[in-house]
Amino acid sequence: MSPRLAPAALAAACCLLAGCGDSGPAAARCTPPPTASPAVATAGPLSARTDRGALAAGDTVKVSLDVAGPATYSAPCDGPVQIVVVDSADLHVGTASAPAPKGTPCGAVTLAAGQTAHYEVLWTSDDTLPPGRYSLAASLGDQPAISLTVTIGAGPFTTC
């Protein structure tokens, strides 16, 4: 190899290795992201959705819950939305809640026709959870829970 080409070849090899082309630990991190669609469910005035349908163990999924008026409900300000996560064997594997951000309706809430309220909760899965489908039951205060399903894969899902 010519002395001029050696530095260029070395630089190209470094870029390839840094970009997931090697066979070491970095290659295991460079897998395609999951393609599952976000989960969506509706029950009466409530609609819930996830920001993605699949994630790696240890990753976080955002659950959004919207209420469309007319609706009356009671949702505690210290955690208006509760998430309970169960696996395919119906074993409880996680929970999540978060206080209502300033300006978000909580306590005794009455929404008139045309009014809406929006809530969000983040759930971070345990990094030891095995691959599979998991049910997230999202409940807003005294309202019935809405079930959403996500898949935890063998990730981590990092694109290169």
Q: What is the dihedral of CA 137, 140, 145, 150, to 10 degrees?
A: -30
**Strand locations in the chain, DSSP E?**
40-43, 46-50, 54-56, 60-68, 71-75, 81-86, 92-98, 107-111, 116-124, 132-140, 146-153
Is 3.30.1490.20 the CATH classification of the domain at 33-153? no
Domain residue spans in the chain? 1-30, 33-153
pLDDT at 141: 95
Query: 68 falls in which pLDDT band (50, 70, 90)?
Result: very high
Q: Give the integer Cα–Cα distance in Å for 135 and 146.
A: 10
Interval 60-80 mean pLDDT: 96
Count of beta carbons in the 10 Å neighbourhood of residue 124:
12
Q: What angle do CA 35, 135, 81 make, to 5 degrees?
A: 105
For the stretch 73-114, pLDDT in tens is 999 999 999 999 999 999 999 999 999 999 999 999 999 999
Question: At 46, which amino acid appears?
Answer: L
Report CA-CA distances (Å) from 76 to 19, 28, 33, 127, 142. 47, 43, 36, 30, 9
In sequence order, the β-bridge partners of residue 111 are 71
For the stretch 135-149, pLDDT in tens is 999 999 999 999 999
Tokens of 81: 């939305």
152: pLDDT strictly greater than 80:
yes
Strands ordered across the beta sheet of 81-86:
54-56, 146-153, 132-140, 81-86, 92-98
Q: Any residues with CB less than 8 A from the CB of 41 and at least 6 apart, and which?
A: 47, 48, 49, 146, 147, 148
119: pLDDT strictly greater than 60:
yes
